[in-house]
Amino acid sequence: MKIGILTSGGDSPGMNAAIRAVVRTGIYYGMEMMGIRRGYQGMIEGDIIPLQTTDVSDIIKRGGTILKTSRSKEFMTDAGMQKAYNQLMHHNIEGLVMCGGDGTFRGAVHFFEKYTIPAVGIPCTIDKDIIGSDYTIGFDTAVNTAVEAIDKIKDTAEAHNRIFIIEVMGRDAGYIALYSGIASGAEDILIPEEVTDITEVIDRIDRDERRKKTVHLIVVAEGDDFGGAREVSSKIIEQFPLLDVRTSVLGHIQRGGNPSCADRILASRLGHAAILALKNGNTQVMAGIVNNEVVYTPFKNVVKGCNPISKDMLELIRVLAI
């Protein structure tokens, strides 16, 4: 078989490790491997190159993606999909491995409704918002990056008796905020999955001030219903004009950097699993890890929603915030 691999949507640490695993596993089983640059847009434009074992040497430790990535609006049109399919046929590609998140798999569902070509997905997104895998490639690294940054911010917050509101990524899912907030000892964690009662946040700050607590740390997911860090900060300043309130938006540092050990291993396992699925005729599925075992979930099920936040984790926030 001639197999194409692409990375699509937002980049995540560990994508290169997944590329490496896919390419080397494919070659091990006698497949010809092709890299599709710039995701679905590169597929449309025929930006396709051969990949050998040496092309993926030493990339396991690198962030980003050697194949580049993009979000392609053209691919979501009938004409764009037709161009993409024509390019695959022109290059004699008989199977696909797609590394990406929710948008990538939604695109796959629409594409494979029209065209029949074996394909397997690998969940690569820092948001951990994909059904079918306990963890997604890039999440562990992003959370550790956020925790490291928050720890440093907390040092200066304690030195100056400041309230700090820190915004992390998470437009639709609050896992980065949840994990990094708990790990850094935040007093409040605001996530999209829960309706934010700003009055409760204000009350906790008031209580901490009366207890002479020197620092109050709030971690906010960018998709929280009340708004990001600046909106929360404005409300707190309105209520406590004499307090020293600062905001920090971590932004895209969460996407970059060398992948953690956990992400490298996860990417290696899933890259290997993706090729095995194609080899065994198990297609139109995403490879994931559930309870430390490889599982395959149909694309149509993957895009139906995201893993719900555990009630135990939500209770943990409330208990540890006292």
Active site residues: 127
Q: Which amino acid is present at 173?
A: A
Measuring CA to CA, which residue among 142, 307, 183, 167 is closest to residue 231? Answer: 167
If you search the block for the tokens 């029949």, which residue do you land on?
116
Spatial CA neighbour of 194 closest among 180, 217, 176, 178: 178
Runs of H (alpha helix) within 31-187? 39-45, 78-90, 102-114, 139-160, 175-183
Which residues 6+ apart lie within 8 Å of 210 measured at CB? none
Q: Which amino acid is at 60?
A: I
Let me know how long the chain is: 322
Give the type of residue at 200.
Answer: E
**108 with 119: CB under 8 angstroms?**
yes
CA–CA separation, 72 and 321 (whole Å):
42
Q: Tell me the two tokens of residue 296.
A: 């395959």
Instruction: Confirm if 153 and 129 have CB atoms less than 8 A apart.
Output: no
